[in-house]
Amino acid sequence: MNVTFSRRSFIKMLGVGTVATLTPNILKAGTIPHIVIVGAGFSGATCAKYLKMWGGSTVQVTIIESNSTYVSPILSNLVLNGKKTTTNLSFTYVDYGNKYNINMIHKSVDSVDSLSKTITLDDLSVINYDKLVLAPGIDFIKTNNYDVTKVPHAWESGEQINLLKSQIDNMVDGDTFIMSIPKAPFRCPPGPYERACVVADYLKNTKGFTNSNVVVLDENSKIIVEENTFSTVFNSYGVDYRPNSVVTNVDDVNKIVSFTENNIAKMLSSTVLNVIPNQKAASLIFTAGVNSGNWASVNPLSYESTIKDDIYIIGDSQGTGQPKAGHIGNSEAKVCADAILRTLNGLSPYPSPKTNSACYSPTSSTEASWLTAVYKYDSNTKTMVSANTAVYPAAGSPSTSNYKEMFNWSGNLFSDTFY
């Protein structure tokens, strides 16, 4: 497993200009520490950028991200109704090399060795780290083995969302759009409800269907965020919302979803099944041995793993009481970056960090709602808890001006993350 390159190509790969002694575990005086970040979505990308913005030439930062283009799940429901394309939502890290001097490696990670502090990539090359940040996102817990190209979740953007869009566009009047929502916690709490609204509006008002329905099978016992807003919109579109509905099997050939509704077994069939499975941390979290249950357990003051030293986990993969979403992933990344820099300089992390989330949700092709929250550190539970009210503050109702503001929110978020 430990196949190493020649020293010269090894150093070149790390982007370090001169020959330096790269001895794992011992950071010699004057050696520039190497921070490796796996995954360059909202969380990983922000972490890399801020490490360089605040740490500059005192740290060497490498990103390992298998995709050279990242397609944002944020705003991706607007692909379904034709308002955006995945091209509009694609980011390429083009500024990262020049502007921030971050090394980009477009490969995937095979394994992590926390004793020797090395990672092995899929091409068997080995990379040393002083600090490792894992931001690999989520993985799905499917009920059974079915083909996600036939029953797309579209809960990662890019190919999946385009698949779902073409399935929707192939619907004829009278067809039903069936979506299932997993048990919380899952990525982007308002996301599925937003999708149901956007699709219902699209079928009715853009495609002009009069006999098509949207059915929502929600494993949760009620709409988990913006309950008033979404239930009002659901009612106005005639969305068939069914809580306490647990998917038990997916038949991708006959397009049948089996589920229990209040413990009674049922089945539904349709041309479009958008089953969004239950979620857990990406597999790398498990193979690296930093999970506790389904998510990574970390110290919210730094996002350092409570299980392994010098490994940090940010974004959707970790569990600290915060929701899973791109905006808050960006937010966590900054706390993590600063904590790493303080640690490298012999300082303690800031003891009372704040993070925040915000999300604008389109509910049609012209209107959107919003919600927002701020989180603070609770030293008793060692988690992040709400800093203002018990319920997320949210827009009173969807509006066209919120819809416009949505692009200001997303525009600055994209820019702060990827540029």
Partner 1 sequence: MNQVNNHKIIKICMYSITSVVLIGCGGGGGSSSTGTATSQSSNTSVISGTVPGTLIEAFCKDGSYYKTNSTDNGTNNHPFELEIPNDLDCKLVMTTNEDDLDITKRIVTPLKLSDGVTSSTYFQLSENSDIGYIGLPLFGQGIQPLISISTAGTKLKINSFSYDPLDLDNDGIPNGYEDDDNDGEYNKDDDDDDNDGIKDSLDDDHKDDTDGDGIKNENDKDDDNDEKKDEDDDDDDNDGIKDIDDNSDTSTGTSVTLPSSYTQNDGRLLGSQCSQCHGTNGNSVNSWDSIAGEDDLLDEIHDDDPIMSAQAKGYTNTEINLIGSWLNTLQSNED
CB of 371 to partner 1, least distance (A): 9
CB of 337 to partner 1, least distance (A): 9
- Assess contact for 259 and 277: CB atoms under 8 A: no
Cβ-defined contacts of 285-289 (< 8 Å, 24+): 285/134, 285/136, 285/313, 285/317, 287/111, 287/112, 288/111, 288/112, 288/114, 288/134, 289/112, 289/114
Q: Between residues 42 and 259, which has the closer beta carbon with respect to partner 1?
A: 42
Token pair belonging to 16: 């370090």
Among 244, 223, 393, 387, smallest CA distance to 321 is for 387
- Strands 295-299 and 176-181 come out as unpaired
Q: What region does 183 belong to: left with phi over 0, alpha with psi -120 to 50, or beta?
A: beta
CB of 353 to partner 1, least distance (A): 7
- List the end-to-end C-alpha distance of the chain, in Å, as a whole number: 36
CB of 283 to partner 1, least distance (A): 28
Q: Which residue has the tokens 């913006």?
A: 226
CB of 49 to partner 1, least distance (A): 8
Cα–Cα distance measured from residue 326 to residue 138, given in angstroms and rounded to the nearest whole number: 12
CB of 400 to partner 1, least distance (A): 5
Q: Between residues 232 and 297, which has the closer beta carbon with respect to partner 1?
A: 232
CB of 402 to partner 1, least distance (A): 8
Q: Between residues 149 and 206, which has the closer beta carbon with respect to partner 1?
A: 206
Q: Between residues 54 and 140, which has the closer beta carbon with respect to partner 1?
A: 54
Cα–Cα distance measured from residue 325 to residue 371, given in angstroms and rounded to the nearest whole number: 12
Q: Between residues 129 and 375, which has the closer beta carbon with respect to partner 1?
A: 375
Q: Between residues 256 and 387, which has the closer beta carbon with respect to partner 1?
A: 387
b/e map 12-51, b = 16+ CB within 10 Å: ebbbbeeeeebeeeeeeeeebbbbbbbbbbbbbbbbbbbb
Q: Between residues 92 and 149, which has the closer beta carbon with respect to partner 1?
A: 92
Give, as one character, the DSSP assignment of residue 187. Answer: B
Q: Between residues 245 and 355, which has the closer beta carbon with respect to partner 1?
A: 355
CB of 75 to partner 1, least distance (A): 8
